[in-house]
Structure 1
Amino acid sequence: MATKTTSATMKVEEAGQMLGIGRNQAYEAVRRGEIPSLKIGGRILVPRRRLMALINGDVEEEADQL
């Protein structure tokens, strides 16, 4: 039986859905640095672990990633 693996990153739209905000608001939050992101080629990706740390208020873990 195959197990589903969760990728280390997600699309900005997915991060927005998790946060309960729209697509445009999510991209604006990335631009302002409010949502952690990586730019790889032409893609903007959100590191899942860093977003979860931000949501959970894990300030220390978030600071370690900077």
Structure 2
Amino acid sequence: MSNVIALASPNNARTADTRPPTGAAATYTVKEVAELLRLSLGGTYQAIRAGEIPAKRIRGRWIVPVHRFHAWLDAQDDSEAAHPAA
């Protein structure tokens, strides 16, 4: 028996992909967002209703698209660094 080692080729390299991995949810619940941000559930709903956190209301339920949420969160880091609190 011989040992075969497969090396990754550039053609097999994963390219930047904004879609969630297979089987991963495309959206967060408000509760999940609250846990990620370490905010209260009520405060998270308030921020969503105010348009501070990107979300959509579908059939009376708020959902937060995963990629929009993370893009928004990354932008918050940039804007806070550019405009520190006084």
TM-score of the aligned structures, taking structure 1 as reference length:
0.75
CA distance, structure 1, for counterparts of residue 38 and residue 73 of structure 2: 12
2:7 maps to none
Tell me whether 1:51 sits opposite 2:75 in the alignment: no
Alignment partner, residue 32 of structure 1:
50
Q: Tell me which residue corresponds to 2:26.
A: 8
The amino acid that maps onto 2:65 is P
Unaligned stretches of 5+ residues in structure 1: 60-66
Question: Counterparts of 1:42 and 1:54 in 2: how far apart (Å)?
Answer: 23
- Residue 9 of structure 1 deviates from its aligned partner by 0.6
**Per the alignment, in what secondary structure is the counterpart of residue 62 of structure 2?**
strand
Task: Report the count of equivalent residues.
Answer: 57
Letter in structure 2 aligned against 1:42: G
Q: Which runs of 4+ in 1 moved over 4 A?
A: none
Work out the percentage of aligned pairs sharing the same amino acid: 33
Unaligned 5+ runs, structure 2:
1-20, 79-86
